[in-house]
Amino acid sequence: FDNLPPHLLRAGGFLLASLVYHAEYLRTTLSEQHPLYRNALFGNTRLVSQLQQKVVCRTARPSDRIRPTGVPPHVHLMTSME
């Protein structure tokens, strides 16, 4: 993330992961002329595919670098029931 301001570096990885995780949804929802497809990431379907294999969607763990805030208590209860 060479061009990202230092105060956004931690968020950069999570933002990239979110875009990669939702890539298929974005492709089916946005028009082919959307500016998102003009950047290096979405212009390279092979790269997106490689990154998708590395992205994992899961609940938070105590060892994570960031801690979720504002999550209602019932969400934690529901995840423990699964």
Q: Could you tell me the residue ranges of all domains in the chain? A: 6-62+70-81
pTM (whole model) above 0.95: no
What tens digit of pLDDT does each residue of 67-81 get?
888 888 888 788 777
What residue has token string 């959307």? Answer: 34
Other Cβ atoms within 10 Å of 36 Cβ, number: 15
- The tokens of 63 are what? 């060892």
What tens digit of pLDDT does each residue of 24-67 get?
999 999 998 999 888 888 888 899 999 999 999 888 888 988 88
Residue 8 in this model has a pLDDT that exceeds 80: yes
Distance CA 39, CA 77 (A): 40
Distance CA 13, CA 4 (A): 11
Cβ-based neighbours of 26, under 8 Å, separated by 6 or more: 19, 36, 42
What residue has token string 């060479």? Answer: 2
Residue 20 in this model has a pLDDT that exceeds 90: yes
